[in-house]
Amino acid sequence: MQWSRVIALLALACASCTAPAPMEGHAPGPRTFPASDIAKGANLAALGNCVTCHTAPGGKPFAGGYALKTPFGTVHGTNITPDEATGIGRWSEEDFRRALREGLNPAGHHYYPAFPYAYFTHLTDEDIHALYAFVMTREAVHAETPANTVVVPRFAVAIWNARYLHPGPARSDPARDASWNRGAYLADSLAHCSDCHTPRDKLGGEKSAEYLSGGDVDGWHAPALNEHSPSPVPWNVEALETYLATGLADHHAISAGPMRGVVDNLGRASHGDVHALAVYIAGMERSSPHRARGSEAADSSAQRGKQVYAGACADCHTRGRSADGGALPLEEAIALAIPTPSNLIHIVRDGIVPREDRAQPWMPAFRGALTDEQLVDLLAYLRTIDGVEWNDLNEQVRKADKEPG
């Protein structure tokens, strides 16, 4: 795991590595809000994918406990239900605003920047109010966030903030239409797309010059969304909107990995906002078709991999999605076009398996069916389809085993 990523992840530890916040001066917020505010907040929370990092697997929504493993220990997403003892039940709206805009808890301690306040800082007052109305009307869950096992130098955050926190409104462009501007606002604030899709520097800050050029998260690669998009089939607004709302668009792979949770949430967000996100992002994408640089499957590993492919993959992936049992032709699969095989390794091993209560397409898991050597061979063959330069396949496969899938 990259150092930059570690810094970012450590941020979640903050609230519990500082002393409990003194509450004097902060009145508990109101518990009743107009239904329209709550509904607006629900939409925004879906766009922000908040529930993902604030919910433990199998746990109560927003009650925290989501564990992130780092080389420095485990940190947990916090309880943001209105429980007074363990959640944010005693926060005023001002406390809430400060947390989102400045990354400070009510006691004035810093959060670490994996809590994406560097994006939320651009949120409007009205949107913060709606989000507040939403979270404060959730079911209060008494759930202690598990103790983190991390010691972090807090001064680093102040320095970090000076460099990377740019409060103020989001970008806007009067020359563009309302959809684009709405999309830009959402993408850069609440949806925090670039949190994953932009590479980070040593301090865990975004490399702003490489905005949306692709990043890494939890052992997965988040592909470039800008003109460097490796997508074999260029995205257009319609396809991207469908993908964001359902996780599935024609000629594109099904959503997987960390993006799964994002699209699950976006599926519940307003169509207009999802459309706006699609307008903004697709507007950045290149429009010419990607040229596959297929090369010959020369080495013996790739030759063996071709056999594996013929048996394990070809029956589905050569037939296209409209056929029974058919799946996306791999020439169209983005996992074969990104700079690392990490996504492909996860997908082959664990499949893309729907939750039991969701109706979704299904790629089966090959864990145990293929040995690590066979997986390396398969990758050696598959990298020839798009001509990507994946190196150290053995090392990549070994490493991916350790990382969460």
Partner 1 sequence: MITLEVNGHRHDVDVDPSTPLLYVLRGELALNAAKFGCGLGQCGSCTVMVDGEAIYSCITPVSTLAGRRITTVEGLGTVDKPGPVQRAFIEEQAAQCGYCIPGMMMRAQALLEKNPGASEDEIRKALEPNLCRCGTHMRILRAVARAGKLMGAK
Partner 2 sequence: MRRREFLATGGALVIAFSIPRAAWAQDAEGAKLPGSLGKTPMLDSWIRIGTDGSITVFTGKCELGQGVRTALQQVAAEQLAVAFDRVTMVTADTERTPDEGFTSGSNSMKDSGTAILNAAAQARELLIAEAAKRLAVPSTQLVARDGSIVAPDGRRVAYGELVEGQLLHVNAQPHSTLIDRASRRVMGKPVQRVDIPGKVTGGVAYVQDLRLPGMVHARVVRPPQPGAKLRSLDASAARAMPGVVDVVRDGNFVAVIARSEFEAVRAMRALSDSATWDDGSLPPQEIHAHLLGLASKDTVIADRGTATSPAQYESTYHRPYHMHGAIGPSCAVGLLQDGKLTVWTHTQGVYPLRAAIAELVKMPPDKVHCIHMEGSGCYGHNGADDAGGDAALLAVTHPGRPVRVQHMREQEHSWEPYGPAMVTKARASLGADGRIVSWEFDVWSNTHSTRPGKAGNLAAGMLVASPFAASPPGTIPQPEGGGDRNSIPLYSVPRVKVTSRFIPEMPLRVSALRGLGAYMNVFSIESFMDELAVAAKADPVGFRLRHLDDPRAVSVVQAVAERFGWSTWQREPGHGRGFAFARYKNLAAYFAIAMDVEVTRESGEIRVGRVCCAIDSGEAVNPDGIRNQTEGGVVQSLSWTMLEAVTWDAKRITSRDWGRYPVIRFQHVPRSLDVQVIDRPGEPFLGTGEAAQGPTAAALANAVADATGVRIRDIPLNPARVAATLRRV
Which residues of the chain form contacts with partner 1 (CB under 8 A)? 307-308, 310-312, 314-315, 325, 351, 356, 362, 364-371, 374
Q: How many CA atoms lie within 13 A of 191 on its CB side?
A: 28
Closest CA to 193 of 215, 161, 162: 215
What are the Cα distances from residue 101, in Å, to 9, 198, 273?
18, 21, 22
Q: Whole-number minimum distance, CB 307 to partner 2, in Å?
A: 17
Pick the closer one to partner 2 by CB: 176 or 268: 268
Q: Which residues 197-216 are close enough to bind partner 2 by CB under 8 A?
A: none
Query: Any contact of residue 170 with partner 2 (CB under 8 A)?
Result: no
Q: Whole-number minimum distance, CB 35 to partner 1, in Å?
A: 38
R_g of the chain, CA atoms, integer Å: 22
Query: Any contact of residue 84 with partner 2 (CB under 8 A)?
Result: no
What are the structure tokens assigned to 143, written together? Answer: 């759930």
What are the Cα distances from residue 210, in Å, to 12, 121, 201, 214?
25, 20, 10, 8
Residue 39 interacting entry, from partner 1, partner 2, none, C-beta within 5 to 8 Å by type: partner 2
Q: Which residues 93-122 are close enough to bind partner 2 by CB under 8 A?
A: none
Q: Which residues 235-274 are close enough to bind partner 2 by CB under 8 A?
A: 268
Pick the closer one to partner 1 by CB: 296 or 356: 356
Per CB under 8 A, the list member of 362, 367, 373, 401 interacting with partner 2 is 362
Sign of CA dihedral 50, 56, 59, 62: negative
Residue 351 interacting entry, from partner 1, partner 2, none, C-beta within 5 to 8 Å by type: partner 1
Q: Whole-number minimum distance, CB 142 to partner 2, in Å?
A: 9
What are the structure tokens assigned to 57, written together? Answer: 């697997």
Per CB under 8 A, the list member of 39, 156, 233, 312 interacting with partner 2 is 39
What are the Cα distances from residue 202, in Å, to 7, 71, 160, 161, 403?
9, 16, 11, 14, 20
Residue 366 interacting entry, from partner 2, partner 1, none, C-beta within 5 to 8 Å by type: partner 1
What are the Cα distances from residue 335, in Å, to 4, 168, 296, 343, 387?
23, 36, 19, 6, 12
Pick the closer one to partner 1 by CB: 73 or 364: 364
Per CB under 8 A, the list member of 295, 361, 373, 404 interacting with partner 2 is 361
Per CB under 8 A, the list member of 286, 290, 319, 321 interacting with partner 2 is 319
Q: Whole-number minimum distance, CB 302 to partner 1, in Å?
A: 15
142: CB partners within 8 A, 6+ apart: 83, 85, 86, 87
What angle, 0 to 180 degrees and rounded to 10, lies between the N-to-C axes of helices 271-282 and 35-48? 30
Per CB under 8 A, the list member of 325, 368, 391, 402 interacting with partner 2 is 325
Helices (H), 172-231: 178-188, 193-197
What distance in Å separates the CA atoms of residue 284 and residue 324, rounded to the nearest whole number? 35
Residue 371 interacting entry, from partner 1, partner 2, none, C-beta within 5 to 8 Å by type: partner 1
- Which residues contact partner 2 (rule: CB under 8 A)? 39, 42, 51, 60-62, 138-139, 268, 315, 319, 323-325, 354, 356-362
